Amino acid sequence: MNSLKLTTALTLAALVSGTAMAQSNAQAVKTSAVEKCFGVAHAGQNDCKAGAGTTCAGTSHKDYQGNAWKNVPAGTCTSIKTPHGHGSLAPIES
């Protein structure tokens, strides 16, 4: 009987611990800062409006389109290298 109680207690502790870790990870993801980074999205993979003639996510027409943006971790945009230069915090003129 003691073995069953011990197994049950350990299982319950593992479940509670796993649930707590999942909740704290979800909060970290929700609160992590992002910024719009222009000129880094591939065709059809932008996060939202990509200038005139587009409506929202997935509507950019070409890779690294200057007026199409992706959300990236804050502080990383201008360090992202593309074949056309680096990412930009403002739309890039074509």
- Segments making up each domain of the chain, as ranges: 1-32, 33-94
Q: pLDDT tier at 57 (50, 70, 90 boundaries)?
A: confident
Q: CB of 45 within 8 A of CB of 32?
A: no
Q: Which residues contact 67 (CB under 8 A, 6 or more apart)?
A: 38, 50, 51, 91, 92, 94
Instruction: List, for residues 70-83, the tens digit of each pLDDT value.
Output: 999 999 999 999 99
- CA distance readout (Å), 82 to 4, 23, 39, 47: 59, 35, 8, 17
Taking 3-state DSSP, the helix, strand and coil percentages for the chain, each rounded to the nearest 5, stand at 35, 15, 50
Write phi, then psi, for 30 (nearest 5 degrees).
Answer: -65, -35
Q: pLDDT tier at 58 (50, 70, 90 boundaries)?
A: confident
